[in-house]
C-alpha cells in the first residue's frame, strides 16, 4: 500500500495540492469552535484541492482519485461521546517526508473499535490543523469504498497549534459496540515549529518555543505524537491548557486506551543532496536507514532515505517519529547522537554511564533489553522527551552527578524495555523508584524522602477520601502521571521496606517471568496479597494514620515496654515503621501493619527510658503529614491537615 513513484528518478510522488500554507494565525484556545470558512469570506485556513493521487490497494489494484472527498463544515459535527468511544487496534502507516519543505504525506490504514455503549454511525478522526484530509475509504459489505465526509477545525491543545482537523467519516453500516472497522485515509501538509497554544495562554515566547519544538526540517525531524503534534490519526475529546491537569490526563488515557494496538510504519524521507539523515527512531526504537544519494544525479535531485518498523505492540506510548543528521558516540549501554557542535560533550555522558552501570546491574540484571539512545535536540534548552529506551535532550557538558541521575532513570527504561510486564506503573514507577534510591545512596535518605514528599500533596488531592466518594484509579491500570509515577514510586518504596533490597532486586529482574507480586513473595517468602489488593489492584485511597496515645512501663534489667495506640482512618491498610527512642539516643524500629479503618497496639521492648515514638518515616503516603512524632512526656499532637514533614 504505497504511493506511486516517478519511475525515471525514483523521487516521491506526493499528492499535488494547491495552496500549501504555513499555519494560520492561532485563535484563543478557549474558543469553542473555529469555522473553516464563513459565508462571503475566503477560508481562514486553506484545505487545498487534490488534483491527482494514486495508490495501490490491499489487492494490488491501482486506485486513482481526481478530486478530494472532503466537505468543509462550519463547525465540528462529531460529538464527545463518539470521540471517547474510539479505540485504535491497528496502525499501518506509510509516511513520506520532504524535509526541506517541511512536508508530510501519509496513507494510514487503521482499525478502530467501538468501545462505547451505542452503535456508531460515523467515525471522528483528527490530525494536526496544518494537515488536510484528502481521501477516506471505509470497509463495508462490498469491500473498501470511498466515502464523502465532513472536515472541520476543532480547538484542542492536544496539538501544538491548538487546533485539530477533524473528519467525521460516515459508516456504510453502524458500528456495533465491541465491533471493529478498517479505515484507509490519506492526508498531507506541513509541520513546522509552532508554539501557538502556549503563547495563547501567556507563556513567554522563548519558553514556549523550547517546549513545543516538534517540526519537520532538514537537520531534525521530531514528531512526539498526541499531546504535542497529531501527525497520525487520533480520536479524542478536545482539551485545553489551563483546565487543571486535564490535557495530561487525556494524554495518559489515550496511551492506555491504545496500548494494545499493533503499529507498523514504512518511512521515506526526501532530503537535499548531500544532507542525508544518519539516525531514525520510531516509538523510541532505532530503525535502519537505507540511503540513496547519487553524486552524479545533480544538486536538484534529492536523496532518498527509507526505513521500516515491523508490526509490534504499541505499548503505553504515543507514536513518535524522529529523523536527524547526527554523529554517533557509543558507550557500553548507550549511543549518543550529537550535533556537530556538541560532539565534544558526548564523552561526559558515556563516562557518567560507566559510573551508573554497577548500580543498574545490582538492581536490574546483567544487561539491558535495549541500547539506550540519546538524541541531541536542536537547542540545549529544549524540553527533554523520552519514549521507551530513547531520551531526546540537549547533550551538553554538565554536573556529573546530575548526568548520572538522568541516566539512572533513562537506563532503567532500557533495562526493562518491551517486557511483558510493561504496565505504565511499572515502566515509569521503577524508573522513578530507582532514581530516588540512587539519590539515597549519593545524598542520603532524607534527600530521597524529600523527593517522595514533593509529589505526595498532588497525590492526596486526587485520591478518593473513601471508596464511596470516588473511583480513583487502580495502579495496575493507571493512566494519570500522578498515579503511575508518584504513587508507583511510593508503592515500590513500601514493598522495599516490607521485604528487602535483595528481594526487590530479585523481583525486578524476574518481572517478565513471574511478575512483581509473585516474584517478591518468592524472594521474601512472605504473603503480599493484602498489599497488592489495597495498593495495586484497586484504589482505596491513602491511609490516614494517627497516634491516639502511648503507654510505657519499666520492666526488668532496665528494659521498658512501650505500647503506642495506632489508628488508621483511611481505607487502605499500611505497614509502617514504628521507631522508639530513648533518653540516651538509642532506638529500635519495628514494622507494624495497621488495618484499614482499624487500630492496633504493638508492644515494643527497648533498653532504656523511652522519650519519643515515631510512626511512619515518609515512605508511606498519607492524606496529611507522613511522619508522626510523639513525645512521651506530652500529649499526642493534634491532627494537622498541613502536609508538614518532620524529620527524626
- Helix pair 346-364, 501-509: axis angle to 10 deg: 100
Q: Which of 70-74, 83-87, 238-242 has the lowest mean pLDDT?
A: 70-74
Q: What per-residue confidence (pLDDT) applies to 558?
A: 87
Measured over the CA atoms of residue 117, residue 119, residue 125 and residue 126, the dihedral's sign is negative
- Phi, psi angle pair for 81, to nearest 5°: -65, -35
Residues near 307 by beta carbon (within 8 Å), at least 6 away in sequence: 266, 267, 280, 282, 287, 288, 289, 290
Q: Which of 34-48, 292-306, 383-397, 536-550 has the lowest mean pLDDT?
A: 34-48
Whether pLDDT at 27 is above 80: no
Q: How many C-beta neighbours within 10 Å does residue 444 have?
A: 11
Higher pLDDT, 32 or 355: 355
Q: Are strands 587-594 and 627-631 parallel, antiparallel or unpaired?
A: unpaired
CA–CA gap between residue 407 and residue 410 (Å, rounded): 5
- Three-state DSSP at 42 gives coil
- Phi, psi angle pair for 174, to nearest 5°: -55, 140
For residues 182 and 111, the answer to whether their CB atoms sit within 8 Å is yes
For the chain, what percent of residues have pLDDT higher than 90? 75
- Three-state DSSP at 151 gives strand
Whether pLDDT at 335 is above 90: yes
- Three-state DSSP at 628 gives strand
Q: What per-residue confidence (pLDDT) applies to 204?
A: 95
Whether pLDDT at 380 is above 90: yes
CA–CA gap between residue 632 and residue 635 (Å, rounded): 8
Strand order in the sheet with 334-338: 327-330, 334-338, 372-376, 390-393, 385-387
CA–CA gap between residue 565 and residue 598 (Å, rounded): 11
DSSP sequence for 5-27: B-TTT--B-PPPBS---PPPPPP
Q: For cell 556538541, what's the residue?
A: 342
Whether pLDDT at 26 is above 50: no
Whether pLDDT at 69 is above 70: no
pLDDT in tens, 596-635: 999 999 999 999 999 999 999 999 999 988 899 999 874 4
CA–CA gap between residue 13 and residue 503 (Å, rounded): 58
CA–CA gap between residue 586 and residue 581 (Å, rounded): 6
CA–CA gap between residue 343 and residue 593 (Å, rounded): 54
pLDDT in tens, 426-467: 999 999 999 999 999 999 999 999 999 999 999 999 998 877
Higher pLDDT, 623 or 20: 623
pLDDT in tens, 256-287: 999 999 999 999 999 999 899 999 999 999 99
Higher pLDDT, 296 or 327: 327
DSSP state of 586: -
Q: How many C-beta neighbours within 10 Å does residue 170 have?
A: 14
Q: Which of 16-20, 187-191, 379-383, 517-521 has the lowest mean pLDDT?
A: 16-20
pLDDT class of 120 with cuts at 50, 70, 90 = very high
Q: What per-residue confidence (pLDDT) applies to 475?
A: 93
Average pLDDT over residues 170-182: 96
Q: Mind spelling out the 3-state secondary structure of 89-123? A: EEEEEEEEEEHHHCEEEEEEEEEEEECCCCCEEEE
Mean pLDDT (the chain, rounded): 86
For the chain, what percent of residues have pLDDT higher than 70? 85
DSSP sequence for 204-223: -HHHHHHH---EE-SSEEEE
Q: What per-residue confidence (pLDDT) applies to 418?
A: 61
CA–CA gap between residue 516 and residue 504 (Å, rounded): 9
Q: What per-residue confidence (pLDDT) applies to 18?
A: 24
Q: Are strands 131-140 and 180-190 parallel, antiparallel or unpaired?
A: antiparallel
Q: How many helices (H) and strands (E) does the chain have?
A: 14, 33
Q: What per-residue confidence (pLDDT) applies to 468?
A: 63
Q: What per-residue confidence (pLDDT) applies to 296?
A: 65
Q: What per-residue confidence (pLDDT) applies to 541?
A: 94
Whether pLDDT at 420 is above 90: no
pLDDT in tens, 30-47: 333 333 333 333 333 333
DSSP state of 525: T
Q: How many CA atoms lie within 13 A of 72 on its CB side?
A: 16
Average pLDDT over residues 329-346: 96
Q: How many CA atoms lie within 13 A of 561 on its CB side?
A: 8
Average pLDDT over residues 162-173: 95
Average pLDDT over residues 506-525: 91
pLDDT in tens, 543-574: 999 999 999 999 888 899 999 999 999 999 99
pLDDT class of 422 with cuts at 50, 70, 90 = low
pLDDT class of 297 with cuts at 50, 70, 90 = low
Residues near 448 by beta carbon (within 8 Å), at least 6 away in sequence: 436, 437, 439, 440
CA–CA gap between residue 133 and residue 70 (Å, rounded): 7
- Phi, psi angle pair for 579, to nearest 5°: -110, 135
Q: Which of 430-434, 536-540, 543-547, 644-648 has the lowest mean pLDDT?
A: 644-648
CA–CA gap between residue 28 and residue 196 (Å, rounded): 9
CA–CA gap between residue 450 and residue 447 (Å, rounded): 5
Q: For cell 490491499, what's the residue?
A: 58
pLDDT in tens, 221-255: 999 999 999 999 999 999 999 888 889 999 999 99
Average pLDDT over residues 335-342: 96
Amino acid at each position: 500500500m504505497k504511493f506511486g513513484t516517478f519511475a525515471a528518478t525514483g523521487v516521491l510522488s506526493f499528492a499535488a495540492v494547491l495552496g500549501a500554507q504555513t499555519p494560520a494565525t492561532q485563535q484563543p484556545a478557549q474558543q469553542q469552535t473555529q469555522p473553516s470558512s464563513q459565508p462571503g469570506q475566503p477560508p481562514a485556513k486553506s484545505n487545498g484541492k487534490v488534483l491527482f493521487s494514486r495508490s495501490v490497494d490491499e489487492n494490488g489494484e491501482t486506485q486513482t482519485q481526481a478530486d478530494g472527498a472532503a466537505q468543509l463544515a462550519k463547525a465540528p459535527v462529531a460529538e464527545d461521546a463518539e470521540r471517547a468511544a474510539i479505540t485504535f487496534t491497528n496502525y499501518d502507516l506509510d509516511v513520506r517526508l520532504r524535509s526541506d519543505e517541511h512536508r508530510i504525506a501519509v496513507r494510514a490504514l487503521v482499525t478502530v473499535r467501538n468501545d462505547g455503549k451505542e452503535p456508531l454511525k460515523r467515525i471522528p478522526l483528527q490530525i494536526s490543523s496544518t494537515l488536510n484530509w484528502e481521501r477516506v475509504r471505509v470497509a463495508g459489505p462490498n469491500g473498501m469504498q470511498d466515502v464523502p465526509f465532513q472536515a472541520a477545525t476543532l480547538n484542542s491543545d492536544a496539538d501544538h497549534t491548538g487546533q485539530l482537523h477533524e473528519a467525521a467519516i460516515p459508516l456504510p453500516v453502524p458500528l456495533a459496540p465491541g465491533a471493529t472497522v478498517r479505515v484507509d485515509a490519506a492526508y498531507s501538509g506541513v509541520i513546522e515549529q509552532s508554539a501557538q497554544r502556549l503563547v495563547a495562554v501567556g507563556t513567554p515566547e522563548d519558553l514556549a518555543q523550547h517546549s513545543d519544538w516538534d517540526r519537520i526540517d532538514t537537520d531534525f525531524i521530531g514528531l512526539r505524537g498526541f499531546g504535542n503534534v497529531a501527525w497520525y490519526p487520533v480520536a479524542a475529546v478536545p482539551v485545553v491548557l489551563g483546565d487543571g491537569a486535564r490535557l495530561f490526563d487525556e494524554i495518559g488515557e489515550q496511551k492506555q486506551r491504545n496500548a494494545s494496538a499493533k503499529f507498523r510504519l514504512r518511512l521515506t524521507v526526501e532530503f537535499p543532496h548531500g544532507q542525508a539523515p544518519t539516525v531514525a527512531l520510531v516509538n523510541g526504537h532505532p530503525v535502519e536507514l537505507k540511503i540513496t544519494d547519487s553524486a552524479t544525479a545533480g544538486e536538484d535531485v534529492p536523496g532518498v532515505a527509507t526505513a521500516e518498523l515491523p508490526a509490534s505492540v504499541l505499548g503505553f506510548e504515543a507514536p513518535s517519529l524522529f529523523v536527524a543528521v547526527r554523529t554517533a558516540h557509543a558507550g557500553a549501554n548507550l549511543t549518543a547522537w550529537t550535533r556537530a557542535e556538541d560532539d565534544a560533550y558526548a564523552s561526559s555522558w558515556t563516562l557518567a554511564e560507566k559510573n551508573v552501570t554497577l548500580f543498574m546491574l545490582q538492581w536490574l540484571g546483567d544487561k539491558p533489553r535495549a541500547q539506550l539512545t540519546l538524541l541531541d535536540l536542536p537547542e540545549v534548552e529544549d524540553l527533554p522527551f523520552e519514549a521507551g529506551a530513547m531520551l531526546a535532550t540537549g547533550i551538553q557538558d554538565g554536573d556529573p552527578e546530575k548526568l548520572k541521575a538522568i541516566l539512572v532513570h533513562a537506563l532503567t527504561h532500557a533495562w526493562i524495555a518491551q517486557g511483558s510486564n510493561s504496565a505504565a506503573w511499572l515502566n515509569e514507577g521503577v524508573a522513578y523508584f530507582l532514581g530516588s534510591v540512587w539519590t539515597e545512596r549519593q545524598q542520603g535518605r532524607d534527600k530521597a524522602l524529600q523527593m517522595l514528599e514533593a509529589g505526595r500533596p498532588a497525590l492526596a488531592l486526587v485520591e478518593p477520601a473513601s471508596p464511596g466518594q470516588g473511583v480513583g484509579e487502580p495502579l495496575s491500570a493507571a493512566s494519570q502521571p500522578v498515579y503511575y509515577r508518584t504513587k508507583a514510586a511510593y508503592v515500590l518504596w513500601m514493598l522495599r521496606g516490607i521485604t528487602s533490597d535483595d528481594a526487590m532486586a530479585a523481583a525486578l529482574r524476574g518481572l517478565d517471568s513471574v511478575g512483581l507480586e509473585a516474584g517478591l513473595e518468592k524472594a521474601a517468602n512472605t504473603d503480599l496479597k493484602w498489599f497488592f489488593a489495597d495498593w495495586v489492584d484497586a484504589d482505596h485511597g491513602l491511609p490516614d494514620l494517627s497516634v491516639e496515645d502511648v503507654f510505657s512501663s519499666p520492666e526488668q534489667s532496665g528494659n521498658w515496654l512501650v505500647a503506642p495506640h495506632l489508628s488508621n482512618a483511611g481505607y487502605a491498610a499500611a505497614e509502617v515503621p514504628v521507631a522508639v527512642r530513648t533518653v540516651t539516643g538509642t532506638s529500635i524500629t519495628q514494622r507494624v501493619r495497621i488495618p484499614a479503618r482499624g487500630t492496633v497496639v504493638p508492644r515494643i521492648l527497648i533498653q532504656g527510658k523511652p522519650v519519643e515514638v515515631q510512626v511512619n518515616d515518609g515512605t508511606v503516603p498519607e492524606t496529611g503529614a507522613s511522619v508522626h512524632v510523639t513525645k512521651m512526656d506530652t500529649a499526642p499532637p493534634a491532627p494537622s491537615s498541613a502536609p508538614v514533614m518532620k524529620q527524626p
